[in-house]
């Protein structure tokens, strides 16, 4: 494919990419099971280096055992670690979750805050986690979730040349309309799992193939 040269050509290509993602993943949504922003925050902390499926297998029983932030704040991290062992990195995750619960209670009246600035004061919540919780939990678009799939696919699609997630996010929010930030992340994460996988992407099945000039395209 010929690379776009002008701003208008780049904008047209981006619109076509977004339309292709809409066509492939019209119902894209967060795969982490949750009933409220607090549960989503816990699930997102647990999802680091772990599949959503495994997190969901743990959280059903976890949220029944600890129904509120106060319940998490009252447990010792080494005890909580036993409940979340199968998600990996359980000692650090347990410390983050108990710390987050204490912070939410001490500073935010027991409710997960609704701004990026406040979210970033919570233990275990860097920008990616904060964007997940604000976007999916509250429907507030402060940025784009940049996980490993969004990093890889944004580069493959030449939407960024950066490797640092914060800089990738800055590039994405500059070119994607704010109303599309939340859905874009969900769609690209699904695309990364279904077709645009790290090795040997399934390009023959990809509806944005004609717009992609990634070096590691397979078709
Ligand atoms: S054509 Fe291949 S590399 Fe490009 S976005 Fe589609 S699956 Fe990914």
Q: How far is the CA of 134 from the centre of ligand 1 (A)?
A: 29
Q: What is the pLDDT of residues 127-163, one digit of tens each?
A: 999 999 999 999 999 999 999 999 999 999 999 999 9
C-beta pairs of 3-7 under 8 Å, 24+ apart in sequence: 3/158, 3/213
- Tell me the mean pLDDT in the region 163-168: 97
Annotation says 65 is catalytic: no
- Residues flanking ligand 1, CB < 6 Å: 156-157, 195-196, 201, 203, 206, 208-209, 212, 214, 217
Instruction: Give the position, in ligand 1's atom list, of the atom nearest the Cα of 217.
Output: 3
Q: How far is the CA of 31 from the centre of ligand 1 (A)?
A: 22
Percent of the chain with pLDDT over 70: 100
Query: What's the pLDDT band for 2 if we cut at 50, 70, 90?
Result: confident
Instruction: Please determine, for residue 1, whether its predicted confidence score (pLDDT) is greater than 90.
Output: no
Question: What does the pLDDT read at residue 219?
Answer: 94
Classify burial at 219, counting beta carbons within 10 Å of its beta carbon; exposed 0-12, middle 13-18, buried 19 or more: exposed
Q: How far is the CA of 19 from the centre of ligand 1 (A)?
A: 15
- Tell me the mean pLDDT in the region 82-92: 98
Annotation says 147 is catalytic: yes
């Amino acid at each position: 494919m010929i690379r776009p040269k002008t701003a208008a050509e780049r904008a047209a290509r981006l619109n076509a990419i977004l339309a292709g993602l809409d066509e492939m993943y019209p119902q894209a949504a967060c795969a982490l099971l949750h009933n409220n922003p607090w549960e989503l925050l816990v699930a997102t902390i647990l999802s680091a280096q772990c599949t959503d499926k495994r997190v969901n297998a743990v959280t059903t029983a976890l949220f029944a055992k600890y129904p509120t932030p106060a319940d998490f704040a009252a447990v010792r991290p080494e005890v909580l670690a036993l409940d979340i062992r199968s998600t990996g990195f359980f000692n650090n995750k347990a410390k983050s979750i108990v710390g987050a619960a204490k912070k939410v209670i001490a500073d935010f009246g027991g409710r997960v805050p609704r701004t990026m600035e406040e979210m970033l004061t919570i233990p275990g919540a860097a920008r990616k986690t904060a964007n997940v919780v604000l976007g999916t939990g509250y429907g507030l678009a402060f940025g784009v979730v940049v996980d490993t799939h969004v990093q890889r696919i944004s580069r493959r699609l030449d939407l960024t040349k950066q490797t640092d997630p914060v800089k990738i996010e800055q590039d994405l929010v500059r070119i994607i309309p704010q109303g599309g930030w939340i859905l874009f992340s969900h769609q690209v994460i699904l695309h990364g799992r279904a077709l645009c996988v790290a090795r040997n992407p399934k390009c023959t099945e990809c509806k944005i193939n004609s717009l992609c000039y990634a070096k590691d395209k397979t078709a």
